[in-house]
A and B are shown apart, each in its own frame.
Chain A
């Protein structure tokens, strides 16, 4: 029966193929856009790199002569020893990845500056010294225009690869790069410490290999960008939009536009990939990820290729408007060079066959973290995650005089009473994160030095009682601390912008985006002072005998200090954070972070509020739980706190789809006490409002979570539009239906907005 089904399926497919072929030919003949001669040949035998579309009158600057420069058991590296172009061949399937597309000559779609992006290996943005003060926007040039066409590229063979010195004659700048084979990968490096900026030119950013592995206008495939949870861009989706570009680990805090009309999700992983049929090229930013961004371009009417790459940010131009009343005099200044940074390195790895999917990329990246960063599987036992909001520091008035007071949202004993009830109802351990349990409450006034329970919430005794209770139920209690943000006190230890002004983040009105008056701005402690603060706090943690610490911001905030005196470049920031995480980790503490960046995952046991959505850029085609696929089975993750999710129903589905834990945030007090304060985002978190729903949802999800919590995700795909299937390493398959109608897959019916488990079914 099944065979017959497949047969008939096959029959249809063949017919369709024939129909497609015929119609395609018809179409091609009638339009005559694509010349058949240039269609890529089958890559069964190990073909050499070729360059297509070469005609007699093709200028030399567009020609490339590849010769083999290095090889190992996995791959061969070819390079043009005059121009520095290279091609990476995967020996196992013969697929060749070109540093600049080998069919760029036949591209008659791409226009404008994208043409340079297509042919260059480096795109450089720079400023001349005299333009800095005038705040002139940085200009752009590229290796094709400034180096190859001027014949100013020097290529040298080095062990396993080549070194290319790009001399930008018009700028007087030399940028050396190395492209070397490294096992099954290719390492592309910009030698930052050897860059010679010559006289008076200042480099701001370098886009490395903007079109490495690019797919052309006829190719089928997808670009994987790690925006939020992960997004896919279909090749040639035709959308006429700006290129996607987003800083890895989030935008720098310094650049707060005056009128931010939109919000976005941050990139949390330094990984990207080009996915094609049976072949993929993934990249990992290995060095300099703290100061890099992911950039992706899609094919459309004016761009004949699709590519994803990275940009290394070295300096940025900041503006200051002076004497606003007497005409605008805008002054510019550049932030400092990352003194001491040696290399910017991106490791490219070709994937093939079944590996060449986003699940394969996630697995490969996980293996990278395991081998290079020491990631180990450390999932905690399945639980229901709960955030408890302790105290908040709010402004109150008495007879028109303002004063600040702690609003008690949940005392320790109130928390205990509630959690006892909840535990009895869900019959599974709880993972509790207590926010605002110490110091000044949820948002610091001053950076905390002591890990002591807030007296107003019941003090040490009540806290110990709560901790004891949780311990007795196999539950965990993470006490939250924010070591980075503060509102009051000396600005000496706050980061500054390049004009030596303290960097402040203000609350914005949700309606018209301008500053919400009457609230203290948030300042950030300098990276240099952070380690000391962390050490002091750790001492207190040890004294108090705490075992689980939630280092919320340490895992997700990245910034630089641009003060002239004690500047600290973003390039080094992640290293500083790793030092702190390591310090706490080695003290034997169990750590958790919120919406954590890649470097934090290695040290933590839990990631609260892991990203579940992308920024939803127009050029995105699909949303995938890439982040979760990477870490599931290794680090325990939760999804967004239920009350703060865009919609609770889809948040639950996302939890199930990625095998994460549910997270509910709650307070004992009536949550209308936060209305009108800066904490008004905590609306509807009162325990009684969600308790029953949480119990019902968690009880239903419990069995599935118990099965899959420590498994990795081995498969993830769409079985229909907005119907997703996740396969875990034990063979459990979960179907999640985001649509408004029931669907039936393999005989299993999944209701609208619901999920179903297909246990024991293996493929």
Chain B
């Protein structure tokens, strides 16, 4: 009777509110956030907004009699949106279209009549047929299976037999059901992965535990522990696998999990897509969330921390970042489609976002602080991007091209259209054009793949020329080899070969370092001019490598080229080494003069310089898979140079083998000391300036 009266009163209230409503109004739309996209350098660039909030459904707008209180979860199933109103211990069912209230599930009783209070429940889902709710009744440490009329048909509690080595409570937080009606339960207090139950509620196994990430902290602790007493060791916080914060299952049955995190910089691995074995099948190094470096301002800085994930109808990943109060939408390849939301008391802003759900291309965010559901719709730009990414994997290349061109028209800052058009050309077999577009898109891997195809095509069409080219190259190598061999023969009438002349000597030292550098002392045959030339060449080749290394291997931008840095890394390093070596060796009775040391070091550079040149040239025709060649060439050049240098130093200083090793080590130490002194001097000057400045400030204020 009482219930009837109450519902009558509710009806009256609804009637009243509908009568009070004006004919209509222009709803308030605003985006308190800016649109942006990340380029391939992880820098944000201005972009149109991808999603706009169009309505904030608070309890009154839903037609709810009493306001939501600490709602915790939200799911959308077959045209209905269910809100787990945790603080009130009830489930609210809304019409998915009108967002008007349909039913409130407020009383839960077991068959024996025992009332189950679900206040504080944190997760909810429906089974495959939509006949039963599963409720993660967190405060009671249980999961309830409830029919739609409120009868609790099963209470799932802690599977004790599987948890022998822990006494932790069964603090169930989130639940989800897969297509085979298996129930997955996340338990906050136990980090062994999700608990999996069959349709009858029998515990099956654990699933996909989150691996420990070997951070510096853990490694440091590992070493510290060796030196600690037992007590101190226990004092260290135990590092355990982080538990999943939330999960969702996509249409293919893959389980997506998100992990909360509190570091300022987003990391990879916070979002995972698990196959039936429980292993992550997302491309490894995708970093979800904001990747731009957040220069920290005291306690004010925001962090990336994912609270919920939802896979929408297109299979796109929607992530709710409660750290920044922002929603991120990604393709499964980790391409950021849109990001929206911020912390604010504005439409499109959040106060305490707890759950995210999608209906078609719309995104709904449940905000516990605002006691509302905020609905977002894609803008023209956002919708076009969604469409375009979808077309990437289709065969309709013509259509894809058009959509990508329309996006280019809306956002000339974006690299996506170039990527998309590159993919279109790639699919059409127009590899040359594809490569150009991939370059604009900053897509190195795709560029490399297109390059491989283009190379095959090129070889197929130009094979005659290529064979000819190879023949010429072989002939050239043979010629050079013979030339050198010829010249190594002792010239008649002298004690030396034709290579042992002043200007051919660098070639000679490459071949015969021991004998060659010996002659530095005996014949003074080194040339300071040529030494200088090699050092300068080093600088130029480094610069060339910066600009002209093939795009597959080259992530440098022309604007990032630093003249001074390059100069220091070549000429500066050379000078530092020579000076340090000279200082050390003078003390150690080395016989080499400064000139000799300089010439030795410069001549030793030759193989390395040649390797740089070859590497740069080859990098333009090789693909990423063949990068091992480049590494090999680099290694050969470097080792060759180091070997010559070592032998050279040994010769000119007339040290023993161990003496040379010792002098080289001391030289390195000397270099470090010189650097340290320079830095020290710089810091001291700076400190003095700061000190004077702060005194000035203090005086002016007090």
Listed in ascending order, the chain A residues whose CB lies under 8 Å from chain B are: 16, 19-20, 23-24, 26-27, 30-31, 220, 231-232, 237-242, 258-259, 261-265, 301, 320, 322-323, 331, 396-397, 399-401, 499-500, 509-515, 613-624, 646-650, 670-672, 674-676, 680-681, 683-684, 686, 689, 717-724, 738
Contact = CB atoms under 8 A, between A and B. Distances in A.
A718 B23 contact: yes
B25 A621 contact: yes
Contacts of A240: 371
Given A680-B46, A724-B26, A738-B26, 16 more contacts: A16-B19, A399-B563, A400-B563, A400-B565, A510-B46, A512-B294, A613-B29, A613-B30, A616-B53, A617-B28, A618-B347, A621-B28, A647-B49, A683-B47, A684-B410, A684-B412
A675 B45 contact: yes
A620 to B, nearest CB: 5
Contacts of A672: 412-413
A721 B24 contact: yes
Contacts of A618: 56, 345-347, 349, 370
A122 B12 CA distance: 40
B412 A238 contact: no
Nearest to B380: A647
B346 A616 contact: yes
B322 to A, nearest CB: 14
Nearest to A333: B701
Interface string B1-42: 000010011011101100110111111111111111010000
Interface string B49-82: 1001100101010000001000000000000000
Given A238-B60, A510-B35, A671-B412, A615 B346 contact: yes
Given A27-B9, A261-B343, A262-B33, A648 B380 contact: yes
Contact of B45 (A265, A680, A686, A721): A680
A646 B29 contact: yes
B413 A683 contact: yes
B698 interface: yes
B295 A514 contact: yes
Interface string B273-297: 0000000000000000010111101
Interface of B: 5, 8-9, 11-13, 15-16, 19-20, 22-36, 38, 43-47, 49, 52-53, 56, 58, 60, 67, 290, 292-295, 297-298, 300-302, 324-325, 342-349, 370-371, 379-381, 409-413, 558-559, 561-566, 694, 697-698, 700-701
Given A242-B345, A684-B412, A322 B25 contact: no
A292 B278 CA distance: 61
A620 B28 contact: yes
A240 B559 CA distance: 50
> Main SS of chain A's interface residues?
loop
A646 B558 CA distance: 33
Contact of B46 (A619, A622, A683): A683
Contacts of B290: 511-512
A660 B237 CA distance: 64
Contacts of A16: 19
Nearest to B566: A400
Contacts of A675: 45, 412-413
Given A623-B28, A646-B379, A647-B379, A258 B45 contact: no
Contacts of A261: 302, 325, 342-344
Contacts of B23: 717-720
A718 B21 CA distance: 12
Contacts of A331: 701
Contacts of A27: 9, 12-13, 16
Contact of A220 (B13, B20, B30): B20
A26 B44 contact: no
20 contacts: A30-B5, A232-B25, A258-B300, A259-B302, A265-B30, A323-B694, A499-B701, A511-B38, A511-B44, A512-B290, A512-B293, A614-B30, A616-B30, A616-B347, A619-B345, A681-B46, A683-B413, A720-B23, A721-B25, A722-B27
Contacts of B697: 322
A238 B697 CA distance: 49
B28 A616 contact: yes
A689 B417 CA distance: 15
Contact of A20 (B8, B19, B32, B563): B19
Nearest to A27: B12
A322 B27 contact: no
A427 B700 CA distance: 64
A320 B698 CA distance: 11
B29 A23 contact: no
Contacts of B8: 26
Contacts of A614: 28, 30
Contacts of A263: 32-34
A400 B564 contact: yes
A452 B163 CA distance: 81
A686 B346 contact: no
A238 B58 contact: yes
A689 B410 CA distance: 8
A513 to B, nearest CB: 8
Nearest to B543: A399
Contacts of B5: 30
What 9 pairs between A and B have smallest CB-CB spacing?
Answer: A616-B30, A718-B24, A262-B344, A23-B12, A400-B563, A400-B562, A616-B347, A510-B36, A511-B44
Nearest to A624: B26
A730 B581 CA distance: 93
Contacts of B45: 675-676, 680
A496 to B, nearest CB: 12
A512 B292 contact: yes
Contacts of B558: 397
> Which of A262, A331, A397, A617: most chain B CB closer than 10 A?
A262
Contacts of A397: 558-559, 561
A763 to B, nearest CB: 15
B15 A19 contact: yes
B15 A20 contact: yes
A23 B46 contact: no
A690 to B, nearest CB: 8
Contact of A617 (B20, B38, B345): B345
Contacts of B564: 400
A8 to B, nearest CB: 18
Given A499-B701, A675-B413, A647 B52 contact: yes
B297 A259 contact: yes
A379 to B, nearest CB: 25
Contacts of B324: 512
Contact of B24 (A400, A512, A686, A723): A723
A239 B58 contact: yes
B671 to A, nearest CB: 24
Given A261-B344, A400-B564, A500-B700, A622 B25 contact: yes
A688 B633 CA distance: 49
Report which residue of B58, B324, B346 has the largest number of chain A beta carbons within 10 angstroms of its beta carbon. B346
Contact of B16 (A24, A510, A621, A724): A24
A738 B24 CA distance: 12
Contact of A680 (B11, B27, B413): B413
A684 B26 contact: no
Nearest to B440: A672
A536 to B, nearest CB: 33
Nearest to A321: B298
Contacts of B298: 258
A26 B28 contact: no
A628 B486 CA distance: 92
A259 B38 CA distance: 20
Contacts of A613: 29-30
A646 B28 contact: no
Nearest to B371: A240
Given A20-B15, A512-B302, A623 B24 contact: no
Contact of B412 (A237, A670, A718): A670
A659 to B, nearest CB: 16
A262 B379 CA distance: 19
B24 A722 contact: yes
